[in-house]
Amino acid sequence: MAVRRFLRSVALVALASTILYAPSCSSDKTTPATDEGDPALADVVYVGGTTDEALDQLLAADTDPWDWAGGLFDMPANHAVLPAATPATFAWHVDSSAPQGGGAGAGGASGALTPADSGVRWASLLQLFGPERTASAHGAPLNGEAFFLVFSTPSSPTLLRVFTTQLSYTPDADAWKKLIGAGGPITLDITSGIFENNLLTQDGGPHLGQTLTFTVQ
């Protein structure tokens, strides 16, 4: 009877592990991920090993207005008029040692365990009860800093969206056509987050960076 009870417990743990570790979707693609994931994010361009799971985490969390950590644009200049003939490069930098706009110290650290940090620790604990995540089939989970760029107009709030681990972005031909077709000023917002296995780390954001406006003609 004790053996049967033990075997039943092992089976339940295995079943829970299968549910918890359902195939994840990650991408090194520079084209929209339309095959799976949230349909509302189907148009997002993923660059540099970003994943839709990490983006879900970023969008579900509250942002703080910390432009130095979120991203400050090096190019183009605010209110620039960009020639349509050649895709422009958008570049930015971060400095998380600079104070937040609200006057808090760098990182706004506190001794409390944040939900994001708790999630990271829980995910690590779950790894004891199941196989490794299916990174071999869908790519590795995101670790490190990533940036979410949102190009928008009043009539198209999701004109172009990019999730990248890089510090610059040059639109491909299709993305550039979207910007050209805007027919007026375009707003660009940038938000950063720091991830561990697709989960935001403690004090890892999301941090809302600079907003700039430009026109393509």
What Rg do the C-alpha atoms of the chain give, in angstroms? 20
- The domains of the chain are located at 2-216
Looking at per-residue confidence, does 126 or 168 come out higher?
A: 168
pLDDT digits (tens, 9 = 90+) for 27-82: 444 434 434 567 888 999 999 999 999 999 999 999 988 888 899 999 999 999 99
Whole-number pLDDT of residue 37: 60
pLDDT digits (tens, 9 = 90+) for 129-166: 333 333 323 468 999 999 999 999 999 999 999 999 99
Whole-number pLDDT of residue 30: 42
Backbone torsion region of residue 73, taken as left when φ is above 0, otherwise alpha when ψ lies between -120 and 50, otherwise beta? beta
* Least confident residue range of 10-14, 56-60, 121-125, 203-207: 121-125
pLDDT digits (tens, 9 = 90+) for 72-117: 999 999 999 999 999 999 999 998 777 765 433 333 333 233 333 3
Per the structure block, which two tokens stand in for 44?
A: 């997002």
Residues 6+ apart with CB under 8 A from 208: 63, 64, 65, 66, 67, 70, 189, 190, 191
164 neighbors 217 (Cβ within 8 angstroms): no
Residues 6+ apart with CB under 8 A from 123: 197, 199
In 3D space, the residue among 166, 168, 174, 175 whose CA is nearest the CA of residue 50 turns out to be 166
65 neighbors 184 (Cβ within 8 angstroms): no
Q: Which amino acid is at 53?
A: E
Whole-number pLDDT of residue 73: 96
**CA dist., res. 193 & res. 26, Å (int):** 16
